[in-house]
Amino acid sequence: CEPVELERIRRAPSLLRMKQGRASGKHLHSVYFDTRTLTLGDHGFALRLRRSGSGCVQTLKTETGVSGGATGALARDTGEYEARLPRGADEPDLNKLPDDLKSRIQKLANGNAIGPRLVSDIRRTIHNLETENGDLIELAFDLGALQANGGEAPVSEIELELKEGAPASLYRVALDLNEIANLRVGTRSKSERGFALLRPRAPVAVKAEPLLLGHDTTLEEAYETVLRHCLVHLMANEAAALEARLPEGLHQMRVALRRARSAFEIFRPGIGGSNADKLAAEAKWLANELGPARDFDVFVTEIVAPVTPRDPAMKKLLTRAETARADGWERAIAVLHSRRYTRFLLEYGLFLADRGWRVKRKAPALAHAFADEALGKRLAKVEKRGRDFEKLEGEARHDLRKQLKKLRYGVHFFSSLYDAGDVKSYLKHLSQMQDVFGGLNDVATAHLILDDLTGDGAAREAADRIIEWHERRAEKTWKGAIRLWKRFGAAEPFWQAA
């Protein structure tokens, strides 16, 4: 957050009520070490020497990014190994590390020198807090800079560390602070930000990783795992959308939100509650706010781009579309910077940390039994919407597309509970159907966009040409969809064969 926001928090009455004793200050001068090619950092290690007062402490951190530990999906999965070195030490002593880590570091260095690469110069002010429930939290205000390769990155952030009590208390305090100041949830450590000065890397969009559940996984464990998986997917694409403005990054954020909403809906018959419903509603709001940018990304690259020739009317229409696309992106960026978005992330994290749900009576104890029921219900909805398939039009097609998508998300959530070969075969048919309906939906969205963009005769003519081109393609696609639907209907649901 900005330094001015830190000052708002320092003076906040709610924070003053929790403070215990006087604040303490530190000047933290840290030097991070790596090979010239930054091999350690590439493999998740951060090796530093930190001087504070008259002491020198060596620390090795092993970071694997955003995790699903005890404090929820917004925590970092971090191992930390400290050792005191002589006061004048100016380089790491690998002999102070556990043998396995020493061997790992030496292997990664491969004989190359490990030298100073990054300097972190931070003024830290620490407050000890006690919540109403007796939880003890250390609140640190960090101001300073990271310096490397002649460049500098400012540091202005807050760190909350649980000393004693329930992890959920961290989220409650963070939510209180978010009401006072404009905050953003950080997903990169200081070392990651600093090393980016040495070797800048553009953020990339990422798809959801495979989700693993065991046959002895309980319903509650599956619920928590699936929802955390969706949140990690969302946050993993934030930089790609917010910093790099990659269309695929924004798309993957919306996919993550749809997956989360589907998870809340799929699990609702067995587990959930009012907090889950509130989060699902906020996920829908956020996806809708990001929607216009995504719609125009698709419109420009997949609807307009294939149609030729590029005459003046077409170019005029494209210019209007690009303007609307830029407006959509500005709206999306503003939302991702908003206090409401931060609140959504923190409330989601609190939900996971506090286990803020309830299991309903008669719900299966094991995830496997629940998955059989849940997938069966999703398929039944698909089959209901697909009656008289060949006669489907407009909204009916759109509704079937949504049900197919929800079934596919459910298959992804529970696939590890079943035979991989059976899942792969069924998913192939399901994915083909979803792809067909996705293309048809893009054409339907193009109709709405073109109605808004066309204002004169020439632009209308260009719009008609675009629609005509895609309608011809859609007609062929629909004929293929009929054949795919029959194949999909003949495929045996793998969960019934298990």
- Report DSSP state, residue 95: G
The pLDDT value given to residue 68: 45
Q: Mean pLDDT across the chain, nearest whole number?
A: 90
Alpha-carbon distances, residue 107 vs 45, 60, 103, 191, 231 (angstroms)? 13, 16, 6, 21, 34
Contacts for 187-190: CB closer than 8 Å, 24+ residues apart: 187/65, 187/66, 187/235, 187/238, 187/239, 189/46, 189/61, 189/63, 189/76, 190/120, 190/122, 190/146, 190/155
Tokens of 157: 């952030």
Domains of the chain (ranges; CATH) run: 3-198 (2.40.320.10), 219-497 (1.40.20.10)
pLDDT of 382 above 70: yes
Question: Distance between CA atoms of 69 and 157, rounded to whole angstroms?
Answer: 22
* Full-model pTM: 0.90
pLDDT in tens, 150-186: 899 999 999 999 999 999 999 999 999 999 999 999 8
Quick one: average pLDDT of 295-307? 90
pLDDT in tens, 230-254: 999 999 999 999 999 999 999 999 9
pLDDT band for 455, please (50, 70, 90 cuts). Answer: low
The pLDDT value given to residue 426: 93
The pLDDT value given to residue 439: 80
